[in-house]
Amino acid sequence: MTAATTTPTNRAFLLGLFAVAGATLMLEVLNTRLLSVVTWYHLSFFAVSMAMFGMAAGALWVYLRPRRFDFDSALDNLFLYSILFAAGTIVCHLVVIYTPLNIRDGWTLMGVARMALITVAVAVPFFFSGVVVTVALTQVKGDSGLIYGVDLVGAALGSVLCLLLLNALDITSATFATAAIALLGAGLFQFARRGAGTLPWIAVCAALLAGAFANHSSPQGFRVFHPKGNTISYERDMLEFWTIHGQVLVFPYLEAGPFFWGPGEGAPVIEGLRGQAMLIDGEAGTAVTEWDGDRSNLDWPRFDVTALPYHLRPGGDAAVIGVGGGRDILTALWADSASVTGIEINAAALQVLTGDRREFTQIANQEEVRFVHDEARSHLTRAEESYDVIQMSLIDTWAATGAGAFTLSENGLYTVEGWQVFLDHLNPGGLFSVSRWYSPEALSETNRLISLAAMSLLRRGVARPADHIALVSRLSVATLIVSPEPLAEVDIDTIESVAREYGFNILHLPRQQSTEPLIRDLLAATGERELLAAAEHEYLDFTPPTDSRPYFFNILKPAALFNASGELEDLGIVAGGNLLATYTLMLLCGLALAGVLLVIVAPLLIAGKPKMPSRAFYSGLLYFACIGAGFMFVQIPLMQRFSVYLGHPVYAVAVLLFSMILAAGAGSYLSDRINVNRESRWTWAVPAAIVALLLLIYLVSGPLIESTISQGLPVRCLIVVALVGLAAVPMGMCFPLGLRLFRNHSSECLPWMWGINGATGVLASVSAVAISMWAGINTSLLLAIACYALLALPTQLLRGQLD
């Protein structure tokens, strides 16, 4: 076969590359959502790491087999590996959804093996797409700038378009549709190599798309069968929704009486009252309760400890953050609230209440009720309304609580900056109510909730936070009441009366100090330093979360991982879940390291060191290690930071990938104008520009988020694209400049440079999650700045050897 060219007769090649590149990024973003459901939320970013690992391995495979991958066989290889990419996408997805991962009792050998299997399954399709992209960029003759541009535009659009796909289909059907797009790319490559033979592949692609929609419509189709170790059986009268915010399942009707979080004494069991369990992402549960719309039949909500703020402010204006199945809306209606605003980020939950179960719940038929589909903090920031009660009851998912929720959208609701927004939108005398899990026998997240409340009040100039706070519990749930003004004596009297009537346990009132030392010490603090000192614990983190470290649900410090004294055994399910999830993160780091050593480093060592001066070789390794690690130390923490800003991790992943891919591509294009042999200024100017722009992001991202979070989602996305893209342009210059510089020393070194860049990028992406969690997002950014600052050293050494 003759060498392929990008002539007008071979535009099919460019379209095929566009399709495969788009499918690759679509799969990467879809996998972040898949892993959030199948495993835990903090594993969603592991999909990014494994995508990079697979593509780096694919590129290395091409470079280490020059006889197999030559110019003459380029289109043949593109055709073959595109088919393998499509097939691997389907097969590996089925492996993930059929592999149960139940490790609640700890990591067994079988559990580790299954986690390793899922890790490999996530990475394998990207190996094949990595081969396709590498062959297209290096083995196809033609306009290299055009080829690279098509690849980048396809990838960037794929990272965004998958959001539309996931809103239309379930995760499995969306993955099948992604495979169909990859097959379309294979058909186009077939046309490019033969000038015919595309129709059969178009037919196969159409059949796969039809199968995807048929699968979505059938309750007996392929689904996520083992979310977080649970086994789910899908039934015909079951409702299922998929959005970018999660999977929502509504199970068949049950006569179970009303659902309570913390039922007080005398809580009724109402015979014949039907309800439906709503399950979010396989584990988070809430209830959809039957109601006939008659207020006289709505007396039972008052018995729940979460109803406490409505005992204090009946008849007022209420806002409920996190509507779910409508449980808290019913409580607000019981209290004759003048208006009830339900703010819900997940459109599927609102669809249940306003569509499929509208007549069953009657909530949407009430004149007082208004639903808002938005992220609560963002909505309230730009809203003009104020409220007598803002309620946030157990807003997370149980999975988030157990896993530490390293990447969850609700993290933005539990920060000092977030609580300033909520307190700002209270009427005079208004109350902010938050209910969380509580255990009297163990330290728990309720202790951190107190720390967060106290710091939020201190930041408002409150001298004695203890006078503004009430904390009441029942069974395993505690309700915190926070007011910008000191609680009135009549409010304290009412709380004591309600507690006596329903058997609630008062943990703190302004006239009654807590008997728990940690809660008492936290509320006794009259300054920020005093509060931080009171929050100190050897193994647990009770410091108030902020936007730069928004991990409310993770209360473990690194020292807890190495505790051998057994002190953590009695700390409760939340800390225990945190511990297990953190061990999981360490396991993933180990699996990533093992994969890098086996798939990238070992083949390079077998291939041998290239023939070139040792100083140049090791300078090259340092150069590509710096840009590999630096890039991911920018990408991962910014995904975490902008998850709060944009309202959900999937938005952050899609927008960050879109902006960084396009901007880095522009930087790569501009790098062609630099003559690495004749010019030397770039060796310090490019690293200096990157460091300066990353410092700008480090300094302005916090104030920028605070000042613009009230804007609509499209505006916030554009702000992220502009801010991130500005730094990504010079970052994109580094790789092509390094490759061109190294070709002057030895062409044999290119596999090493690709491999080391990919290896350090994979390890940095996994490490960045742990670093941000324990040391803050800004720490990861500082590490990125250090990597790019260090880049000047090997660059100067390599450039100096050419003179």
- Higher pLDDT, residue 44 or 663: 663
- How much is the pTM? 0.84
Coil, helix or strand at residue 413: helix
Please tell me the distance from the alpha carbon of residue 20 to that of residue 157, in angstroms, as a whole number: 12
Q: What region does 108 belong to: left with phi over 0, alpha with psi -120 to 50, or beta?
A: beta
Q: Which two tokens stand for residue 709?
A: 């979070």
- Predicted local distance difference test score (pLDDT) of residue 359: 94
Q: Using pLDDT thresholds of 50, 70 and 90, give the confidence band for residue 551.
A: confident
CB 228 within 8 A of CB 40: yes
Coil, helix or strand at residue 658: helix
Residues 6+ apart with CB under 8 A from 421: 377, 380, 381
**Residues 433-439, mean pLDDT to the nearest whole number:** 90
Please tell me the distance from the alpha carbon of residue 82 to that of residue 88, in angstroms, as a whole number: 10
- Predicted local distance difference test score (pLDDT) of residue 574: 53
Q: Using pLDDT thresholds of 50, 70 and 90, give the confidence band for residue 567.
A: low
- Predicted local distance difference test score (pLDDT) of residue 569: 52
- Predicted local distance difference test score (pLDDT) of residue 408: 41
Model confidence pLDDT, tens digit, residues 172-198: 999 999 999 999 999 999 988 887 767
**Residues 519-546, mean pLDDT to the nearest whole number:** 90
- Predicted local distance difference test score (pLDDT) of residue 504: 97
- Predicted local distance difference test score (pLDDT) of residue 568: 52
User: Which of 727, 735, 736, 759 lies closest to 660, judged by CA?
Assistant: 727
CB 430 within 8 A of CB 386: yes
User: Which of 588, 578, 566 lies closest to 111, judged by CA?
Assistant: 588
CB 687 within 8 A of CB 789: yes
**Residues 772-776, mean pLDDT to the nearest whole number:** 80
Amino acid at 720: V
Q: Are strands 426-437 and 317-321 parallel, antiparallel or unpaired?
A: unpaired
